[in-house]
Structure 1
Amino acid sequence: MFNYTFHWKQALQRLPQMLDGALVTLEVAVASMVLGILLAILLTGCRLSGSRILSGFAATWVEIARNTPALFQIYMAHFGLGSFGIHLSPFTSLLIGITFNNAGYLAENFRGALKAIPDTQIRAGRSLGMTAVQAFRYIVMPQMLRIAFLPMSNQMVWAILMTSLGVTVGMNTDLYGVTQDLNALTFRTFELFTIAAVIFYAITKITNLLSRLIAARLFRY
């Protein structure tokens, strides 16, 4: 029969430590998104460069990122590179794995966004005396980011949730890792992980809300 005794007070006493872990979770997610966006722009340029080597490299990155588990990518950063004598901290391995994943998904989003922009935009910029790079920077890229903005916010949510995989490589400073350690100390599994789930839920909902507010502010026309 159900005879579990809840101890919410004991679990809530650990809330400050869990919130500290949530800050680390956000740190990893935000850093992986910034790096992922920069890499995705480069990958998109490679795919559209006309160079077989660059296009093949970008396509391979995207295929691996989109068709293998994120856990595999984190493992390769931590244990795979470790096999070659490159030993990374759990934080760095987690960041590299999530960044790799973000870059692959965002590159495909950017490529799709570019296809939605007429080629005449570049020609119009060139007719005004712009170079191809200037036309891309000032005309095409703002439109591309506008089209891809909401998918980018979804990827940010995914990055936040992916941080929980860090525990598999010894990460214990993020929200999930802190919760796991506290559970080992207190054995209040249900209460602690319920609180962690609520924090994750709150972070992702706030992220979605902020992204919609930003989109409404930046892309009013």
Structure 2
Amino acid sequence: MNYTFHWRPAFRALPDMLWGALVTLEVAVLSMVLGVFFAVLLALASGSRFRALRAFATSWVELARNTPALFQIYMAYFGLGSLGIYLDSFPALLAGITFNNAGYLAETFRGGLRAVPPTQVRAARSLGMGPVQAFRLIVLPQMFRVVFHPLTNQMVWAILMTSLGVVVGLNNDLTGVTQDLNVKSFRSFEFFAIAAVIYYLIAKFVTGSARLMAWRLFRY
């Protein structure tokens, strides 16, 4: 080994990498918000009495869970272009990760919905609540209590999946910024080692914050 480490250029570029980390967080948070929204709808559709809704939900879940996340991002960026729908790198990455999140979370939410006893819904209806009100005030809070920790794991997975944006030309997230800095300086180990530490710290911050939230919200 005759490689000489030079950490100073990497540390000087740390502010740029931290700005890239903010873009990474932006994509991850948006994909989780959208993913949770679609996952709830898919979980409800999977239990619907309408066969078309069940088939749609099943197809989404099967595709999301049994194909690589990279292919899903490719389909959003390249595949939709074949149909005349052109997305830039950021929305394509967001669409791909959202699709993946929704597919995985739909199964998690479906299990969470089944964990809520039907008697509680009937009790809420007997108190005068409508179906939507009972679902919003009785079912959803209990479901999210059950799925909270899997939801946290999916958030960490979404953060790590944002690194795939570099393959569709996204160059302002953490991985994209790191790759650009590497191309300019050829200090691969130094830049990617710091980027790995930043990803690690973000993931640990998310899991630590989730544990604190769980302690505050679910101690009773």
Q: Secondary structure at the match of 2:194?
A: helix
Query: Which residue does the alignment assign to 1:201?
Result: 200
Q: Distance in 2 between matches of 1:159 and 1:42?
A: 20
Q: Distance in 2 between matches of 1:51 and 1:218?
A: 36
Number of equivalenced pairs: 220
Query: Which residue does the alignment assign to 1:125?
Result: 124
Q: Distance in 1 between matches of 2:151 and 2:183?
A: 36
Following superposition, the deviation at residue 215 of structure 1 comes to 1.1
Q: Secondary structure at the match of 1:76?
A: helix
**Counterpart amino acid of 2:82?**
S
Q: Secondary structure at the match of 1:75?
A: helix
Following superposition, the deviation at residue 100 of structure 1 comes to 0.4
Q: Secondary structure at the match of 2:4?
A: coil
Give 1:94-133 correspondences, 5 Å limit: 94-133=93-132
Q: Secondary structure at the match of 1:154?
A: helix
Q: Secondary structure at the match of 1:4?
A: coil
Give 1:133-172 correspondences, 5 Å limit: 133-172=132-171
Cα RMSD over matched residues?
0.8
Following superposition, the deviation at residue 121 of structure 1 comes to 1.3
Moved more, 48-57 or 168-177: 48-57
Q: Secondary structure at the match of 1:66?
A: helix
Q: Distance in 2 between matches of 1:71 and 1:142?
A: 33
Give 1:1-221 correspondences, 5 Å limit: 2-221=1-220
Deviations for 1:74-130, whole angstroms, at most 9, x for unmatched residues? Answer: 000000001112111100000000000001111110001111111111111111121
Following superposition, the deviation at residue 166 of structure 1 comes to 0.5
Following superposition, the deviation at residue 159 of structure 1 comes to 0.2
Q: Distance in 2 between matches of 1:134 and 1:76?
A: 38
Q: Secondary structure at the match of 2:180?
A: helix
Q: Which runs of 5+ in 1 are unaligned?
A: none
Q: Distance in 2 between matches of 1:72 and 1:54?
A: 25
Q: Distance in 2 between matches of 1:98 and 1:35?
A: 10
Following superposition, the deviation at residue 46 of structure 1 comes to 1.0
Could you list the structure 1 runs, at least 4 aligned residues long, displaced by more than 3 angstroms after superposition.
none
**Counterpart amino acid of 1:64?**
L
Q: Distance in 2 between matches of 1:17 and 1:134?
A: 46
Q: Distance in 1 between matches of 2:166 and 2:96?
A: 13
Normalised to the residue count of structure 1, the TM-score between the two structures is: 0.98
Q: Distance in 1 between matches of 2:43 and 2:9?
A: 50
